[in-house]
Amino acid sequence: MTLAEMQFVLPDLRPASAEIFLLAMTCVVMLADLFVKDKKRTLTFVLTQLTLIGTLLVTYATSTGEISYTFSNMYVSDLMADVLKVLLYVTVIVVLWYSRGYVLDRPQMAKGEFYSLTLFATLGMMVMISANHFLTIYIGIELLSLSLYAMVALNRDSVSATEAAMKYFVLGALASGLLLYGMSMIYGATGTLEITAVAERLHMGQANKSILVFGLVFLVSGLAFKLGVVPFHMWIPDVYHGAPTAVTLLIASAPKLAAFAIVIRMLVNGLIVLAQDWQMMLIILSVLSMAVGNFAAIAQTNLKRMLAYSAISHMGFMLLGLVTGVVGADARFALNAYSSAMFYVVTYVLTSAGTFGMILLLARAGFESEEIDDFKGLNKRSPWFAAVMMMMMFSMAGIPFFVGFFAKFSVLQAVVAAGYLWLAIVAVLFSLVGAFYYLRVVKIMYFDAPTDVTPIKAPIDIKLLMSANGLAVALLGVFPQILMSVCAYSIIRSL
């Protein structure tokens, strides 16, 4: 090999400049935190928020709206990635703001590690969103997962948090093994792990079909764990319940955006030729998730566990959008189906952030406020916060005219348009079951006598943020076309 052949070709760093900026700033935040003597970690908090805002501006400045590849085609930059990343930054900024008071009340949590791990988790999600290679997806998943394992166990004095972290770690390692085994079989069948190259070889028939289908089963199983759908859901209730509520808020929101992205990258961009195989698997996962999630949530008295089972049913509902993109060999419904699934994920993240934000607002030092009964008579203590929580519950239940209703409606019309009428009927029936436990929370807030009659006092910034979150859920329900159009446009420019 000559010297000329050994020369390293520098990749185009511009598409990945947001990731590079975030990584550099995370190192700055970690170093700055070493010199912070303030127990409130105000400098670390401000630097973290400025880092996320800076990353958003870098993403906006470098976005071209065109599909571009770099790092030997292992990384892709397209409009869907840019939109999901911007939504990701906004979500993490809101999560950190909601968590501020909760973290300060708990000395074990009020450390620089909380902020640096959040930034590393955000970096992992960014890598997942822009991955065009199976190993890049795996690196992103592991960076996210390892950060979340550590964050769940951050409060070392809590037995439930330590137990939740252990369960999460063990089951997460099992899911990673399933994903890697599936990837190895896909490599054996196609000779490549680059997603666009896998799609080309499948299209040209240059792959061993039987090995591919086996690999696909393992791949879908690993993805199902990351989404938290039945029967790979066993970690969700325990982790949601055991983790500090600030960490539960993070797990319940931003990673859903990254999980949606890797499902699109792997199954739609890479394995669309096998659509009839993986769609059948997703239908089974979807129906089981809606059934188990909704019926198990009814029995819960702990609000975090109820929302955990609710998340399982919502992810099952989101999968409905992905199973109707290709019918037979007909891909006419793809745009409608995938954009409705993206719209559903975005609205779920918005509503989930507001719901856990309310739980954090009612929590205080030595009190978690995670039982459903803790919300008794909330209307008498704070009519406005009760109204915001009611908006969140109505949206999750799919009641008109809140954004959750239009999210469900867009998925259902995509399912019906593709000819799966029976699937739409099943989804509606399970949604009716789900409405019960959401409306139970509203009933408790408005019709039960409060156990604590002290008025709720919140800092002005939290009041404004919570109000903005509630109004976003309400206004997007009245004007859903804007967000729907953004989702549809980003999908059509990226597939």
DSSP state string for 419-459: T-HHHHHHHHHHHHHHHHHHHHHHHHHHHSPPS--SPP---
Residue-level pLDDT at 324 = 82
Residue-level pLDDT at 444 = 92
Measured distance CA(105)–CA(357) in Å, rounded = 15
Q: Are 473 and 357 in contact, with CB atoms under 8 Å apart?
A: no
Global model pTM greater than 0.95: no
Cα dist from 206 to 212, 329, 371, whole Å: 11, 19, 55
Helix axes 334-362 and 79-104, enclosed angle (nearest 10) = 10
Q: Are 361 and 385 in contact, with CB atoms under 8 Å apart?
A: yes
Structure tokens at 340: 């409705």
In this predicted model, what pLDDT tens digit does every residue of 64-110 receive, in sequence order? 888 888 888 899 999 999 999 999 999 999 999 999 888 888 878 88
Please compute the mean of the pLDDT values over residues 177-190 and round it to a whole number: 92
Burial of 332-370, coded b for 16+ CB within 10 Å and e otherwise, reads ebbbbbbbbbbbbbbbbbbbbbbbbbbbbbbbeeeebbb
Q: Indicate the residue type of 50.
A: L
Measured distance CA(183)–CA(266) in Å, rounded = 10
Give 41's pLDDT tier (boundaries 50, 70, 90). confident
Residue-level pLDDT at 256 = 93
Cα dist from 39 to 31, 36, 42, whole Å: 16, 8, 8
Structure tokens at 222: 């690993």
Q: Are 123 and 26 in contact, with CB atoms under 8 Å apart?
A: yes
In this predicted model, what pLDDT tens digit does every residue of 131-175 receive, in sequence order? 999 999 999 999 999 999 999 998 888 888 899 999 999 999 999
